[in-house]
Structure 1
Amino acid sequence: MKPLPWQKEVWATIAGSIREQRLSHALLLAGPDGAGKRHFAGCITAALWCRNLASDGSACGECADCLQVASGAHSGYFLVRAEEGKRDISIDQVRALSEKLTMTQYDGRAKVAIIEPADALNVNGVNALLKTIEEPTPGSHLLLVSARPQALAATLRSRCQRVRLAAPGRAIALDWLRNTSGGKHDDATLAAALDHAFGAPLKALQLLDGAGLAQRSDWSRGLVDLAGGRGEPATFAAAINEADPVGWLQWLYGWMSRLLRMRIAASADDDAAIVSLAQRLPAELLDRYIAEVQAMLAKVHGPADKKLLIESLLIGWLALLARAGRAAQNRPS
């Protein structure tokens, strides 16, 4: 398994650690969704077992161990995620993992556990994992994957070596999308997908493979329409709730963060109408609204009525625009 083109520099450091047998027991792979964190974790896992490493230290992808890693069937590999229908990774899952990590591999080689997303660990799960980190079994490695490392307990973050995996520059991302999508899409479509994925190539590729791109274009247009006095929040909320309420909230957080960036440094590739909208909105109001969206993200997985949460945020969006308008009127000329 090869690291993605924009991960080569980070990979060189990790590969050196593996080669010198000094890879940290606990790594925190942090970066935005769609930047390739999970892929990078797979590269580390495969490289620890591959019998025919490439010159850059990456796995060959063809030996028996590599094939077992790719299929998830390797005896020393463990993937921990929240169980279906659950929001959290439970303490029982962590305890079961810790027990597996204490067992010696029949061939004496490494054991690797990927925890994704690590911010889904509940408080008890974190405490149980800390014990495993503080008393590691020789040859075992924990790879914690998270797009929200700040949501992890400070006690857990401080015990992990952080590996930052950023999204690539736009030119690199577009080039990778062209090659990976096999020429099925023109550059304008690739650029739109990348915009709606907030620069994350793997997320953009996912949007191109389904109806996600059209859906996110509708969401963007819906917010711009509300800003222009068109459309009704309740109607828009009903459509979102029927389509993908959790996906919309995640997208909204990124879209609002992008507005904040556009206020400071819009690029030539940004949509002119959205740039104009961003420049109408004071940074402090956007910051406050983004915090509200983040709070709703924590609630959307629970028993709360998702449609009401969405309506509340859309009404909040209109209130933000109204406050921005009043602030502009009161500004000295």
Structure 2
Amino acid sequence: MTVPQPLPWQQPLWEHLYGYIAQKRIPQALLITGHKGLGKQRLAEQFALALLCAVPQHNGIACGLCSSCVLINAETHPDFIRVQPEEPGKAITIGQIRGLITQLTLKPQFEAHRVVIINPADNMNNAAANAFLKCLEEPTERTLIILISEKPGKLPSTIISRCQKLALATPDKETVVDWLAETSSCSTETLRNNVALAQGAPLLALDYLNDEVLMVRNECFNAWIAIAKRLKSPVIVAEDWHKLSASPLIFWMTSWVIDLIKSSYHAQAQNLYNPDLSSQLQELSERLELKGLYKFYDLLLASRQRLDTQINRQLLFEELLIQWHELNRRK
């Protein structure tokens, strides 16, 4: 088992976590926050491995060879517990938290710590969150609970107040581009475009490169422009789009509208979300009214909130694209 080193932008945070180990002051609960794609889960697992490893390296990183590391790699370590939704997009239930509470009533089976990772912690429903509070109010010996969240504001303040906090910040773009260049043969321009598309999140940018998301985004943008030019029907495009992931699509549309508004004020390409699309956006912005763009922007924000409901995705895209079509009606 090869244990990876901390990611470049995580090094100061790792040193902070290693300080807990070196000083033998392990917190009872740790809340790790940050946007998607920054490596929260990876950092949490590295800390867990370091705590459970029998012979960690000089910098605190787990050895990867001892019996504890082997058990973790085989996902059979009794003192390493993961709590996550049983299905993607579902809530963490009170049944899962009650099961965790039962496990925590027993002492750790090894001499080191026991580590619980709950991800995403903000997916606990109200009943589960209330039950989980008991774990924090009545901590068990040698047990660390790590909560991971992209949306800590959804967590009850009673839980947040009982946790040590570690926030991952988005690294500067050049750091991300340099890191991606080590594993990718793509041009620097392609790397920069993917980093911009991922809003600077390194692991998300890497996923985009591997899945050729930039190509899909470009196809969607071309369809969006074709609707504006009356070359495609919004209903037909909506039928195609509902087969894709809705959240990135609505984010892309939102970023295009923000860039259109910026272009109306003659913003430089490097200050746009989509610098590679600047010429088309600038041309389009010259024949659109700002009032209509702001109204459409509000609709996009509302639509992002509606994604958490059981809304019909195709109808959602039809509504958005028909309004976009109307917004581009020639005077």
Could you say whether these structures have the same fold, taking a TM-score greater than 0.5 normalized by the shorter chain as the test? yes
Q: Is the 8 A contact 2:250 2:300 kept in 1?
A: no
Counterpart mapping for 1:184-199 below 5 A: 185-199=186-200
Change (3 A) 1:49 1:178: same
| Partner of residue 37, structure 2 | 34
Between 274-283 and 128-137, report the one with greater CA deviation.
Answer: 274-283
Change (3 A) 1:285 1:114: farther
Change (3 A) 1:71 1:174: farther
Q: Is the 8 A contact 2:260 2:281 kept in 1?
A: yes
Q: Does residue 146 in structure 1 map to residue 149 in structure 2?
A: yes
Aligned-partner SS, 1:205: helix
- CA root-mean-square deviation: 3.3
| TM score, norm. by length of structure 2 | 0.82
Equivalent of residue 313 in structure 1, options 306, 316, 320: 320
State the distance in 1 between where 2:317 and 2:300 align.
14
Change (3 A) 1:322 1:5: same
| Partner of residue 213, structure 2 | 212
Counterpart mapping for 1:105-116 below 5 A: 105-116=108-119
Between 1-10 and 266-275, report the one with greater CA deviation.
Answer: 266-275
State the distance in 2 between where 1:288 and 1:73 align.
48
Q: Is the 8 A contact 1:52 1:59 kept in 2?
A: yes
Name the aligned partner's letter for residue 297 of structure 1. Answer: L
Q: CA deviation at 1:171?
A: 0.9
State the distance in 1 between where 2:88 and 2:12 align.
38
Q: CA deviation at 1:246?
A: 4.7
Q: Is the 8 A contact 1:259 1:274 kept in 2?
A: no
Between 128-137 and 244-253, report the one with greater CA deviation.
Answer: 244-253
| Partner of residue 203, structure 1 | 204
Name the aligned partner's letter for residue 313 of structure 2. Answer: K
Q: Is the 8 A contact 1:26 1:143 kept in 2?
A: yes
Q: CA deviation at 1:322?
A: 6.7
Equivalent of residue 293 in structure 1, options 299, 303, 313: 303
Name the aligned partner's letter for residue 143 of structure 1. Answer: I
Q: CA deviation at 1:278?
A: 8.0
| TM score, norm. by length of structure 1 | 0.82
Q: Does residue 120 in structure 1 map to residue 130 in structure 2?
A: no
Change (3 A) 1:208 1:89: same
| Partner of residue 23, structure 2 | 20
Q: CA deviation at 1:8?
A: 0.7
Equivalent of residue 99 in structure 1, options 78, 98, 102: 102
Name the aligned partner's letter for residue 161 of structure 1. Answer: Q
The gaps in structure 1 that reach 5 residues or longer are: 327-333
Change (3 A) 1:268 1:298: closer
Counterpart mapping for 1:166-245 below 5 A: 166-181=169-184, 183=185, 185-227=186-228, 230-245=231-246
Q: Is the 8 A contact 2:303 2:316 kept in 1?
A: no
Cα deviation, 1:151-181, whole Å, max 9, x if unaligned, reads: 2233332332221112211111011111133
Q: CA deviation at 1:136?
A: 1.1
Q: Is the 8 A contact 1:115 1:144 kept in 2?
A: yes
Between 308-317 and 231-240, report the one with greater CA deviation.
Answer: 308-317
Q: CA deviation at 1:40?
A: 0.8
Change (3 A) 1:274 1:129: farther
Change (3 A) 1:98 1:164: same
| Partner of residue 330, structure 1 | none
Cα deviation, 1:177-202, whole Å, max 9, x if unaligned, reads: 11133x3x232332232222221111
Q: Is the 8 A contact 2:117 2:147 kept in 1?
A: yes
Cα deviation, 1:6-65, whole Å, max 9, x if unaligned, reads: 011111111101222223222221111111111111111111112333333222334332
Q: CA deviation at 1:286?
A: 7.3
Name the aligned partner's letter for residue 288 of structure 1. Answer: D
